[in-house]
């Protein structure tokens, strides 16, 4: 049996029936990785001995959690105690956290196997997984193309059946966009639903950890495990967490769905538009009430995001200076020279670009003109969603304006790269939950994603809509040939 092709819930059933074991699952995945990883390059780190050690420890456990024996890849900006966690940046090479992120600790409590560290754009700065110091990850559907970013390694590993589940982080679409381009499910929870303790920050008011999975049911199971209040994160909401698997009903009868006209304007690839419109037609046929809505401030989202995100990034990355941990320049004359050379050597081009942009936006004389104005625009974007949700239960849009583009195609054109997230950014600015599910393929056989957006802390609505769509299509069952 090819265990690597199964979902987490299928494997959990087999484990419960004693038809397989965590060790057998891990060994099957390791065998798969030896065949595919040289092509995909989804991982920064994989310690086979540690994986087997975890399996041996699980055999001693008397109680089984929801993810007992299920391998989970962790994005390289989420801390795992004693394991390299570098944000795919030279400046953090060799850093081994002395503690687990809250989400990792909860996974371990449930008996999940912390399987590998997923490659990513450096410090999550990118939409293609090309800015990593370890080199780019390749899309399993076409190895000459990008997997999306910044959680490209996590998404590609799920698509390539190199893992069962993965965690990513989403600041402006970094879970949903790679999920779309790799043909898997990507879930960005409400801001504050999942603790950010142990997530190395990009933009603190936007970042959110979430699942990448083979189907919606697996995403719901993983979200159950990682969600909930955490006193170690002051931004983590003290809101009751429902059992998300109870929202998995194949029924959208009466569900009010809005599709924003601004998301179907110039710039949207024709094949993506056709696939999304076909999906809306199916949802209407299944009983949903589908109507056009307007989010009038959508056109400001990209500019707004790249002011707020870079400003927060420049502040968060100030701590990486070669003094306490990570890379330090070997040849310097004084403390200031050490700072400059360490950061010059340690950060890549995109990281430097965002630090400079953010520092400029926060500098004296420009704060009011840029950052403060961006915060006001953010409020207008949030109010657009508030008005829309008075007349609809969820919003459906494309996840990405195009399918996966070729490696190297946009790396020297930052503006073109930034526009890759045009349909996902607004969700982070408004702090809302969203999920991307496969909804078709283009003529080259590349996946296309469909995005569901809901009110804050109404993840169940997303799961109902996404699960119903998935149960009435077979896009999520298709696999790339590797």
Regarding predicted confidence, which is higher, 62 or 194?
A: 194
Does 417 have pLDDT greater than 90? Answer: no
Q: Summarize pLDDT for 372-399 with one digit per residue, the tens.
A: 999 999 999 999 999 999 999 999 999 9
Q: How far apart are CA 256 and CA 270, in angstroms?
A: 25
Whether the CB-CB separation of 150 and 173 falls below 8 Å is answered with no
Stretch (H or E) spanning 43: strand 43-45
Q: How far apart are CA 374 and CA 308, in angstroms?
A: 7
Is 39 noted as a catalytic residue in this protein? no
Regarding predicted confidence, which is higher, 323 or 244?
A: 244
Q: Does the global pTM surpass 0.85?
A: yes
pLDDT confidence tier of residue 325, bands split at 50, 70 and 90? confident
Determine if residue 4 is left, alpha or beta; phi over 0 gives left, psi from -120 to 50 gives alpha, anything else beta.
alpha
Q: How far apart are CA 342 and CA 322, in angstroms?
A: 6
Q: Summarize pLDDT for 79-107 with one digit per residue, the tens.
A: 999 999 999 999 999 999 999 999 999 99
Whether the CB-CB separation of 437 and 450 falls below 8 Å is answered with yes
Least confident of 17-31, 68-82, 352-366: 352-366
Does 261 have pLDDT greater than 80? Answer: yes
Q: How far apart are CA 101 and CA 97, in angstroms?
A: 9
Q: How far apart are CA 136 and CA 54, in angstroms?
A: 29
Does 1 have pLDDT greater than 80? Answer: no
Give the DSSP per-residue string, 304-349.
HHHHHHHHHHHHHGGG-SSSSSS---S--SSHHHHHHHHHHHHS-H
Question: CA of 190: how far to CAs of 43, 75, 113, in Å?
Answer: 27, 19, 25
Q: pLDDT at position 79, please?
A: 98
Cα end-to-end span (Å), the chain: 18
Give mean pLDDT, residues 165-171.
98
Give mean pLDDT, residues 152-160.
98
128, 154, 169, 174: which is the annotated catalytic residue?
Answer: 174
Is 444 noted as a catalytic residue in this protein? no
75, 108, 117, 188: which is the annotated catalytic residue?
Answer: 75
Question: In the β-sheet with 289-293, what is the strand arrangement from edge to edge?
Answer: 43-45, 113-118, 71-75, 165-169, 209-213, 185-188, 434-441, 447-454, 394-398, 256-260, 289-293
Does 146 have pLDDT greater than 80? Answer: yes
Q: How far apart are CA 315 and CA 217, in angstroms?
A: 38
Average pLDDT over the chain, rounded to an integer: 96
Whether the CB-CB separation of 161 and 170 falls below 8 Å is answered with no
Residue 102: phi, psi to the nearest 5? Answer: -55, -45
C-alpha closest to that of 271 among 482, 446, 412: 446
Q: Domain ranges in the chain?
A: 3-255+394-477, 299-375
Does 119 have pLDDT greater than 80? Answer: yes
Stretch (H or E) spanning 258: strand 256-260
Q: Which CATH number fits domain 3-255+394-477: 3.40.50.2300, 3.10.290.10, 3.90.1300.10, 3.40.605.10?
A: 3.90.1300.10
150, 151, 314, 426: which is the annotated catalytic residue?
Answer: 150
Q: pLDDT at position 351, please?
A: 95
Strands 165-169 and 113-118: unpaired
pLDDT confidence tier of residue 364, bands split at 50, 70 and 90? confident
Q: How far apart are CA 190 and CA 464, in angstroms?
A: 16
Give mean pLDDT, residues 320-331.
89
Is 75 noted as a catalytic residue in this protein? yes
Stretch (H or E) spanning 143: none
Give mean pLDDT, residues 193-201.
98
Whether the CB-CB separation of 348 and 131 falls below 8 Å is answered with yes
Q: How far apart are CA 30 and CA 238, in angstroms?
A: 39
Q: pLDDT at position 420, please?
A: 85
Give mean pLDDT, residues 175-186.
98
Q: Summarize pLDDT for 266-316 with one digit per residue, the tens.
A: 889 999 999 999 999 999 999 999 999 999 999 999 999 999 999 999 999
Whether the CB-CB separation of 216 and 437 falls below 8 Å is answered with yes
Q: How far apart are CA 201 and CA 216, in angstroms?
A: 27
Q: pLDDT at position 419, please?
A: 81
Whether the CB-CB separation of 252 and 279 falls below 8 Å is answered with no
The gap from C-alpha 181 to its chain's centroid, in whole angstroms, comes to 12
């Amino acid at each position: 049996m090819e265990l690597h092709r199964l979902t987490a819930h299928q494997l959990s059933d087999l484990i419960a029936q004693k038809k397989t074991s965590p060790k057998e699952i891990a060994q099957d995945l390791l065998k798969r990785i030896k065949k595919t990883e040289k092509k995909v390059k989804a991982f920064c780190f994989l310690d086979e001995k540690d994986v087997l050690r975890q399996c041996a420890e699980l055999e001693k456990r008397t109680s089984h959690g929801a993810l007992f024996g299920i391998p989970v890849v962790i994005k390289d900006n989420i801390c795992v105690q004693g394991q390299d966690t570098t944000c795919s940046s030279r400046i953090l090479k060799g850093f081994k956290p002395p503690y687990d992120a809250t989400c990792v600790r909860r996974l371990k409590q449930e008996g999940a196997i912390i399987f590998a560290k997923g490659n990513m754009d450096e410090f999550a700065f990118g939409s293609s997984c090309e800015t990593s110091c370890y080199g780019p990850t390749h899309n399993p559907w076409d190895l000459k193309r990008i997997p999306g970013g910044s959680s490209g390694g996590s998404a590609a590993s799920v698509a390539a059946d190199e893992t069962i589940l993965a965690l990513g982080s989403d600041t402006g679409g970094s879970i949903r966009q790679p999920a779309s381009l790799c043909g898997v499910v990507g879930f960005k929870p409400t801001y504050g639903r999942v603790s950010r303790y142990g997530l190395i920050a990009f933009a603190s008011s936007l970042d959110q950890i979430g699942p990448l999975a083979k189907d919606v049911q697996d995403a719901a199971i993983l979200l159950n495990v990682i969600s909930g209040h955490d006193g170690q994160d002051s931004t983590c909401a003290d809101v009751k967490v429902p059992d998300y698997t109870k929202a998995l009903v194949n029924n959208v009868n009466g569900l009010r769905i809005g599709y924003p006209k601004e998301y179907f304007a110039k710039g949207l690839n024709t094949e993506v538009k056709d696939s999304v419109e076909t999906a809306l037609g199916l949802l209407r046929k299944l009983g949903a009430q589908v109507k056009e809505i307007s989010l009038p401030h959508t056109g400001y989202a990209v500019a707004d995001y790249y002011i707020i995100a870079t400003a927060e990034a420049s502040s968060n990355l100030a701590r990486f200076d070669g003094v306490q941990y990570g890379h330090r320049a070997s040849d310097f004359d004084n403390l200031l020279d050490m700072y400059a050379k360490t950061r010059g050597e340690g950060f890549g081009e995109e990281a430097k670009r965002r630090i400079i942009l953010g520092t400029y936006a926060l500098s004296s004389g420009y704060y009011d003109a840029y950052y403060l104005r961006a915060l006001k625009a953010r409020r207008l974007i949030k109010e657009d969603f508030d008005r829309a949700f008075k007349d609809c239960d969820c919003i459906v849009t494309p996840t990405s304006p195009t399918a996966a583009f070729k490696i190297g195609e946009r790396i020297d054109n930052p503006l073109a790269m930034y526009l890759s997230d045009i349909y996902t950014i607004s969700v982070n600015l408004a702090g809302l939950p969203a999920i991307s599910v496969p909804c078709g393929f283009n003529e080259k056989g590349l996946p296309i994603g469909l995005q569901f957006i809901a009110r804050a802390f109404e993840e169940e609505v997303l799961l109902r809509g996404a699960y119903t769509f998935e149960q009435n299509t077979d896009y999520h069952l298709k696999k790339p040939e590797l």
